[in-house]
């Protein structure tokens, strides 16, 4: 067992690096400085359909709601940058690079569990809990407090070495440790590249994101169809969006990850879309099992795929959309109707008219009528 406070803290950090975390910082368990901003953000309605954030708003006030008796938070960062994205051909879609490999939750949990086991060995009876965005804990706030970086204008944590291409995790403990100096500087300067590149104008102001207009939100979190005026801005993004990270100067020289589980899975980038419309629920599960993409579920991915195909306006991709028009999920039918209208072929409009006569879902009927109004 490490002999004193400094030795214990050093042992924890050394072990975290041996477990191949790229960043480690430690801070006290306190009320985060940004809690008032979180409440203002929720009251403004910027969380959209993410009702769980408002339900657990009180729990975000202090990490004691995540671990009783907590005294310290060990913040951990793991780089996921792999290869550079390639051009997306027609009929394919872009996937946010954090989702190219295995599910990061599983990868990071294994490492935090091992780190927690070491703490238990050193201090029998101690309490720890690992968190990988699965509890009411504002990880970015505590990462800044632990000296890992600053919160950028795109609301992501930025680090001078790792940019923003990293996952954050936390290991909570009831042990007192030595704490790192909070990161007080803001190295964004006058740069506004992340704000300007967003095609859906999701940033209300620097450091303020309206999730309801964010491509990542309405391709992953939202259950409904994206607002009509934002669908074209989705472009080729089928799951998530990296635009505000790709243009960030701090991301230009980030070294590639050494985590093999984050390497791109074959067929996930770019993602071929046509075949998805003929897959069963079980086939979807097999393809995306243990992948972040499964979070959107079959209906969400097909909804997104239809929007992308509609944006590409390639007549050769009409066939999968005609399958989507008959899907059991209303949101898939609605998205496919919009996309068929965008492609605008005579055969497509004929099918839309036929389906309008028998469609019973109000949202789908609205999309069918709107698509036919473009003729």
- Structure confidence by residue, pLDDT tens digits, 280-327: 989 999 899 899 999 999 999 999 999 999 999 999 999 999 999 999
Contact yes or no for 17/24 (Cβ under 8 A)? yes
The Cα–Cα gap between 105 and 292 comes to 9
Q: Output the six-digit token pair for 354.
A: 């036929």
Q: Output the six-digit token pair for 59.
A: 């729990």
Least confident residue range of 3-12, 17-26, 145-154: 3-12
The Cα–Cα gap between 11 and 6 comes to 9
Catalytic residue list contains 174: no
Strand pairing report for 150-151 and 157-158? antiparallel
Q: Does domain 275-375 have CATH number 3.30.70.20?
A: no
Average pLDDT rounded to a whole number, residues 67-90: 94
Please give the mean pLDDT across all residues of the chain: 96
Contact yes or no for 356/365 (Cβ under 8 A)? yes
- Active-site residue (options: 133, 186, 290, 362): 133
Residue 358: predicted pLDDT: 95
Residue 96: predicted pLDDT: 96
Domain ranges of the chain: 5-83+100-173, 275-375
What's the pTM value of the predicted model, to 2 decimals? 0.95
The Cα–Cα gap between 208 and 353 comes to 43
Residue 14: predicted pLDDT: 98
- Structure confidence by residue, pLDDT tens digits, 204-238: 999 999 999 999 999 999 999 999 999 999 999 99
Which phi and psi (to 5°) does residue 23 adopt?
Answer: -140, 140
Q: How confident is the model at residue 270 (pLDDT cuts 50, 70, 90)?
A: confident
Q: How confident is the model at residue 3 (pLDDT cuts 50, 70, 90)?
A: low
């Amino acid at each position: 067992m490490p002999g004193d406070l400094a030795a214990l803290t050093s042992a924890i950090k050394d072990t975290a690096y041996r477990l191949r975390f790229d960043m480690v910082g430690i801070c006290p368990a306190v009320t985060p400085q940004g809690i008032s901003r979180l409440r203002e953000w929720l009251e403004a309605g910027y969380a959209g359909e993410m009702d769980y954030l408002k339900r657990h708003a009180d729990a975000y006030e202090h990490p004691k709601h995540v671990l009783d008796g907590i005294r310290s938070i060990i913040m951990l960062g793991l780089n996921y940058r792999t290869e550079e994205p390639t051009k997306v051909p027609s009929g394919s879609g872009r996937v946010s690079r954090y989702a190219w490999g295995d599910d990061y939750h599983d990868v990071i949990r294994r490492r935090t569990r091992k780190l927690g086991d070491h703490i238990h060995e050193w201090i029998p009876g101690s309490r720890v809990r690992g968190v990988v965005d699965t509890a009411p804990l504002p990880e970015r706030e505590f990462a800044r407090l632990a000296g890992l970086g600053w919160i950028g204008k795109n609301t992501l944590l930025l680090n001078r070495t790792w940019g923003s291409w990293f996952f954050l995790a936390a290991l909570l403990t009831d042990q007192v440790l030595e704490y790192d100096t909070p990161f007080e500087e803001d190295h964004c300067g006058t740069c506004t590249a992340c704000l300007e590149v967003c095609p859906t104008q999701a940033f209300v102001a620097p450091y303020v994101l309206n999730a309801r207009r964010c491509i990542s939100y309405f391709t992953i979190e939202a259950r409904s169809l994206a607002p009509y005026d934002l669908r074209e801005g989705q472009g080729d993004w089928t799951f998530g969006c990296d635009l505000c990270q790709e243009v960030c100067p701090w991301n230009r020289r980030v070294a590639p990850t050494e985590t093999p589980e984050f390497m791109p899975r074959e067929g996930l980038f770019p993602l071929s879309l046509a075949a998805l419309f003929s897959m069963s629920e079980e086939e979807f599960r097999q393809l995306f099992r243990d992948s972040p993409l499964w979070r959107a579920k079959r209906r969400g991915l097909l909804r997104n795929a239809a929007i992308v195909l509609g944006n590409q306006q390639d007549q050769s991709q009409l066939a999968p959309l005609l399958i989507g028009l008959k899907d059991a999920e209303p949101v898939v039918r609605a998205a496919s109707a919009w996309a068929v209208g965008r492609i605008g072929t005579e055969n497509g409009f004929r099918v839309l008219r036929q389906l309008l006569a028998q469609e019973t879902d109000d949202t789908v009927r609205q999309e069918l009528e709107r698509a036919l109004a473009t003729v």
